[in-house]
Amino acid sequence: REIGLRIVRYMNASHVVGYVGLSDTYSAKNFFDEVNKSACLLTEPEYTRICAIDMDAGGSGCRELIAWCQIEVQEAFESDLIDARLACQYRDKLLAFQAAFSGLFNYADQPIPFFYLHFICFLSTLY
């Protein structure tokens, strides 16, 4: 039960942390801190560790929390709380979740393509 609750807390926290750093709108101070206070997602030592990563700088905090989930899944498997098939399914879902947030950060880091910028300028001129 404790491992399952930690996985849920870490997944919820990673979802919130995943949006921090994408823009100035969602910062650690005005978004994550408020959600963490109201939902009690992370304990004080966990919160200190995630803050040390600097959530505003990118997706490292989200990846760290997903790694914690992977560790919890492995501990549950080694303790015979879940079988190999369920552990594999959890790992697949965790990696898909990480890939989705990595895609958001990859997209946010890209400049506007040269062609589209000039095409929009051209259309604006014609209009």
Q: Which residues contact 75 (CB under 8 A, 6 or more apart)?
A: 3
Q: Which residue has the higher pLDDT, 119 or 114?
A: 119
Question: Mean pLDDT score of the chain, rounded to an integer?
Answer: 85
Separation CA 66–CA 95 (nearest Å): 8
pTM of the model: 0.77
pLDDT digit string, tens, across residues 2-14: 888 999 999 999 9
Separation CA 99–CA 12 (nearest Å): 16
Separation CA 105–CA 88 (nearest Å): 26
Separation CA 56–CA 27 (nearest Å): 6
